[in-house]
Chain A
Amino acid sequence: MAGQTLLSLEHLSAHYVSQQGTRVVRAVDDVTISLGAGETLGIVGESGSGKTTLALTMMRLLPPAARIVAGRMMFEGEDLLKKSDEEMRKVRGKRIAMILQDPMASLNPLFSIGNQVAEPIRVHEGAASRTAWQRAIQLLKSVRIASPDTRVSQFPHEMSGGMRQRIVGAIGISCEPRLLIADEPTTSLDLTIQAQYLNLLRDLQREHGLALIFITHNLGIVAKMCDQLAVMYAGRVVEQGPVSRIFNAPTHPYTKALLGSIPRMTDGGERLTAIDGQPPDLSNLPAGCAFAPRCPAVTTRCRVEAPPEFVTEPGRSARCWLAEPMALRSSAA
C-alpha cells in the first residue's frame, strides 16, 4: 500500500536482565518490521510472545530491568533510540500514542474525564485549560460518546466499559499522532461492543490519517482491520507480510497452526485453541529454532540452527528453514 515508511524497526532487541546479571530474558529478539503512513499492522502472538514488550520498546518505556540492546527504531526518518529522555517524552502522546488493554485501570479514578482527556493537549501543545477542555469535549464527540458536555465532568467509575475504552481512545488521538498503538484494545469489551469500537477506530484512522498497530491474539480482528501482519513467537517475528497473502498461504508452521485452529474467521471473539506443548521459557531458549519443540514439520537442522528471516516475496518474510528454498535473498535487510 502506498505511503512513505512511517516506522521502521531494524533488528531491534530488548532483554530483561536479572539483578545479578545472570539471567537474561530475550523478550524482543531481532525484530524487523516496517509500517507505512496510514497503514494498519497487526502483531499477533500468544501471551509471553513479546508483543507487549515490543510496544513498550517502541515507546521507550521499558521497566528498569530491561535494556534495548541492539537495533534501530526509525520513525519519520529519525532514530528514536538516539533521542534523549526529554525528547522522547515529547514524542510520546504527541507523535506516537498508545492505548492500554484495561480501560478501567488506565483512567485515574480521582480525576474527571475532561481533565484526563485534555491533559496531553495542555502538556504537548501548551493550550490553555479552557481551550483544552473544549477540545476534550470535541474529542469525546468524535469517539461517539453521547452528551459529551455532561460526560466530560464525570468520573471514570460512572462510565460503562465501552465508554471508558473510547475515552482512552480519545486520549490517544487527542494530539493528532501519526501512529497509534493499541494493545489488546478489545479484550475487556463485550462482544457486541467490540465491533462498534473497531469501526470507530477505523473511521478515526481514515479521518486523521493515522497508522495503527494492533497488538492482539485475535486473528479475527487482524482479518477485519489490518493490512499487514507480523506473527511473533518467543520474542521473534516468525512471519510477516500482507494479511491476505498470509491468510491464504501461510509459510511458517506456527502461523499455519494458528490459522488452522480457527473455525470461522468472521467470528471475532474466539480465543485461539491450543497448540500442542508449552510456550518456551524466554530465559532458557533452546539452541536452534524456538518453535522446534512444538513444530509438526521440524527437521534436525531446525533443532540445531536458528533460521534467519527469509524474504519470500517483496514485503513478505518468514523465519523458517522451510522458507529457504523460496527465498529471494539469503536474509532480510
Chain B
Amino acid sequence: MTVITPPEAAIVTVASAPRPAAFWRLKGFPLIPILILVFIALVAIFADVLAPYDPTIGSLARRFRPPFWQEGGSTAYLLGTDHVGRDVLSRLIYGARVSMVVGITAVLVAGGIGTLLGILSGYLGGWADQVVMRLTDTWLALPALTFAIFLAAIVGPSELNIILILGLVYWTRYARVIRGEVLSLKQREFVRLAIVAGCSSRTIMWRHILPNVINSAVVLATLMLGVVIVTEASLSFLGVGVPPPKPAWGLMMADGKKGLLVGYWWLTVFPGVCIMLMVLSANLLGDWLRVKLDPQLRQL
C-alpha cells in the first residue's frame, strides 16, 4: 500500500505525527525540585556549620541592616539583620531545620495514624469503618488551619505540640485515601486466598495489605509535605507556631511585616522565597510521583 500525500491540512502522513510541545511537564523527571529539597535538607542538617552567627542572638546596634548589595549593608551580614539585630542568613539556615523537622515529622505522624486507621477501617469494615468515616467527614469539614489554630490555642505552642497538632489535623486525608485503596485491595486474589487459608486479620493487614498501600502512602506524604509546611508557616506567622526565639520562616515573616511599610523588604522576602521554594518543590515532586507511581491517585 503506497502512502499518498494529500494536500489538505487535515490529512498527515504517518511519519510526521506531531509531538506535543512540552518542555516543563509534570511528566518529566522533576530534577530541580528534588535538588532544591535535598539542598534544603542538607542546609538543615549542617546548619551549625553553615550559619555564620547564632540565630537567636542579636545586637540592637546592628538592627535593620540591609543585604550586602544595598547601601548600608555589609558582607558581614550577607542578607541583612532583623529588628533585634539578628543575622537574617543564619536565621534562614536554622529555619530550614525547623521547617524540615516539623514538616517531615508531622507528615510521618499524620501518615502513621492515617494509614493505620485507614487500613483498619477499610479492612475491618463494620462499625470501625463507620466511626472512622464519620469522624473524618466531620474533621475534614473544619478547615485545617482553623482547626490547628484552635488546638494551638488550647495546648500552647511548642515544637512538639505543633508537630502533634499538624499530625492530628492531617491524618484524616490519609485515612480516606488509604481506606479506598484497602477496599479495592480486599477484592484482589491474593487477599482472598489468605483469608481462605485461614490467616488472621492481623496477619493479613500486616503482611498483605500494608506493603501494598505503602506506595500510595509515600505519594501522599510528598503531597502533604507542601501543605503541612504552609500550615506550619501560617501558624508561625500568626504567632501560634514554633515559639521564638527559634527561627521559623513564618515567624520571620510576621516580624518582617512590621518593617515592610518602612522599606525593610528583606525581612519578608527572603524567608518567603525559602518557603515558596520548599513548598513548590514538594508539590511538584508529589504531583510527579502521583502520576508515575499510582494512576489510581490521579483523581486526588
Residues of chain A at the chain B interface (Cβ within 8 Å): 11, 13, 15, 17, 19-21, 24, 29-30, 60, 67-71, 81-85, 88
Contact = CB atoms under 8 A, between A and B. Distances in A.
Given A19-B19, A30-B1, A67 B14 contact: yes
Given A19-B19, A19-B20, A13 B10 contact: no
A84 B8 contact: yes
A146 B13 CA distance: 50
A81 B6 CA distance: 8
B11 A68 contact: yes
A67 B12 contact: yes
Contacts of A19: 19-20
Contacts of A69: 3-4, 11-14
B10 A70 contact: no
B17 interface: yes
A29 B3 CA distance: 12
Given A13-B1, A81-B6, A21 B11 contact: no
Nearest to A20: B19
A81 B11 contact: yes
B17 A81 contact: no
B22 to A, nearest CB: 11
B2 interface: yes
Contacts of B9: 84-85
B6 to A, nearest CB: 6
B10 A85 contact: yes
Contacts of B7: 82
A69 B19 CA distance: 17
B2 A70 contact: yes
B1 to A, nearest CB: 6
A91 to B, nearest CB: 13
A81 B10 contact: yes
A70 B8 contact: no
Given A67-B14, A69-B3, A70-B6, 20 more contacts: A11-B1, A13-B1, A15-B14, A17-B17, A19-B19, A21-B14, A21-B15, A21-B19, A24-B14, A29-B1, A60-B10, A69-B4, A69-B11, A69-B13, A69-B14, A70-B4, A71-B4, A81-B11, A83-B8, A84-B8
B3 A81 contact: no
A155 B41 CA distance: 60
Given A81-B10, A85-B10, A67 B2 contact: no
A103 B271 CA distance: 59
A82 B8 contact: yes
Nearest to A82: B8
A223 to B, nearest CB: 33
Interface in B1-54: 1-4, 6-15, 17, 19-20
B266 to A, nearest CB: 47
29 contacts: A17-B14, A19-B20, A20-B19, A21-B15, A21-B17, A21-B19, A24-B14, A29-B1, A67-B11, A67-B12, A67-B13, A67-B17, A68-B6, A68-B10, A68-B11, A69-B4, A69-B11, A69-B12, A69-B14, A70-B2, A71-B4, A81-B6, A81-B8, A81-B10, A82-B6, A82-B7, A83-B8, A84-B8, A88-B10
Contacts of B1: 11, 13, 29-30, 70
A67 B15 CA distance: 11
Contacts of A85: 9-10
A62 to B, nearest CB: 9
Contacts of A20: 19
Nearest to B2: A70
A237 B8 CA distance: 26
A11 B4 CA distance: 11
B17 to A, nearest CB: 4
Interface in B65-102: none
A15 B15 CA distance: 11
